[in-house]
Amino acid sequence: MTTTFEGLSFQLSEEHLAVQQATRDFAQTELWAGVIERDEKEFFPDELVQKMANMGLMGMMVSPQYGGGGMDTVSYVLAMEELSKVDASASVMVSVNNSLVCYGLEAFGTEEQKQKYLTRLATGQTIGAFALSEPEAGSDATSQHTTAIDMGDYYLLNGTKNWITNGGRAGIYLVIAQTHPEKGHKGINCLIVEKGMEGFQVGKKENKLGIRGSDTHSLMFTDVKVPKENRIGPDGFGFKFAMSTLNGGRIGIASQALGIASGAYELSLKYAKERKTFGKPIAEHQAIQFKLADMATQIEAARLLCFKAALDKDNHHDYVKSAAMAKLFASQVAMDTAIEAVQIHGGYGYVKEFHVERMMRDAKITQIYEGTSEIQKIVIAREILR
């Protein structure tokens, strides 16, 4: 497959195809079995996380010197799509660990921080979480109520975070907090917090509409002493760190949305060829053909936007706009495709054993986390009007 973007010719390499096939095989053989039960019971077994780590999925883009795979963002997009075709709960764990935690540490952390934390995250010895959202600071990330008071050689961390993916499973947390309120967004810092630090408590697990296999928790910090050496970047760098990290995270969620859409479409295509009404497969009815045509076209467009964002990142171009566009469009495609998949399946689409109802529930979150669709439009507008 060859595609050209603004004079750039892109072709999937043998390595890309190998990553895609290996992840597809894993998803179909390891993740498919039990995905309905995991959704119903809201759990994801440690052994599956370890298998993903053994495949190198938890630190795909991290340099090999820190235990990562050293892969490019295109490989990451391909892997995320294949995982998400089967289980979006698995893919969001991979996305957060790669895009938000490992990337942030490798790009902005000190060598000591990388040696101490990044190697453990990239190899899957522990899982990471990114703690930005608060009860009153979701889309408005500048309004941090969690505070990190400078006490000389340590910070005193107090506050609450919510909607934290991997919140209960993680061992390492990147926590965004306000140190200098008078400086606004320039007074925010990012601190590395380890599970087990005195005063740090993991709150209740959220009972969610979708991605139910992934654990989402609130986090509470009460006078947690965080060593000064656990701050990422210079004093006041936290907001810039968060925004930079989220740009890459949007590529991951766009790829997740793409995978959900692809999975729903493939199930719908198979079902339409097998299900018969009025003496012929429903795929022979024009009404169904038009739905499938729309789904296939939208998915292909979303895939190209994901590749464009990945290529921009890999080629060190500004990818703020392309990542936002990919997430905005792919998340809408995921929602639209999943809804149509349920419609094509008819009554069977409304029951769990046919999977598409779960995909419809999973699709919705892609329009919300790592920046809502409305935030993506603001980002895109700012970029095109600059």
Pick from 162, 155, 163, 136: which is nearest to 220 by CA? 162
Cα torsion at 160, 164, 170, 175 (round to 10°)? -50
237 phi/psi in degrees, rounded to 5: -85, -5
Cα separation, 150 vs 163, in Å, equals: 26
Q: H-helix or E-strand containing 51?
A: helix 46-54
| Whole-Å CA distances, 115 to 29, 226, 351 | 34, 18, 48
Annotation says 136 is catalytic: no
The whole-angstrom separation of Cα 210 and Cα 96 is 16
Q: Are strands 8-11 and 188-194 parallel, antiparallel or unpaired?
A: unpaired
User: Which one of 353, 370, 374, 383 is the catalytic residue?
Assistant: 370
Per the CB < 8 A criterion, the answer to whether 69 and 61 are in contact is yes
- Residue 90 Cα distances to 121, 135, 141, 373, angstroms: 16, 25, 26, 22
DSSP 240: H
Q: Please give the Cα distance from 222 to 122 (Å, whole number).
A: 29
Q: For residues 84 and 71, give the distance between their C-alpha atoms in angstroms, rounded to a whole number.
A: 19
How would you classify residue 218: left for phi > 0, otherwise alpha for psi between -120 and 50, otherwise beta?
Answer: beta
Q: How many CA atoms lie within 13 A of 250 on its CB side?
A: 32
Beta strands in 179-294 (DSSP E): 188-194, 200-205, 216-227, 276-277, 280-281
Distance in angstroms between the alpha carbons of the first and the last residue of the chain: 34
Residues catalogued as catalytic: 370
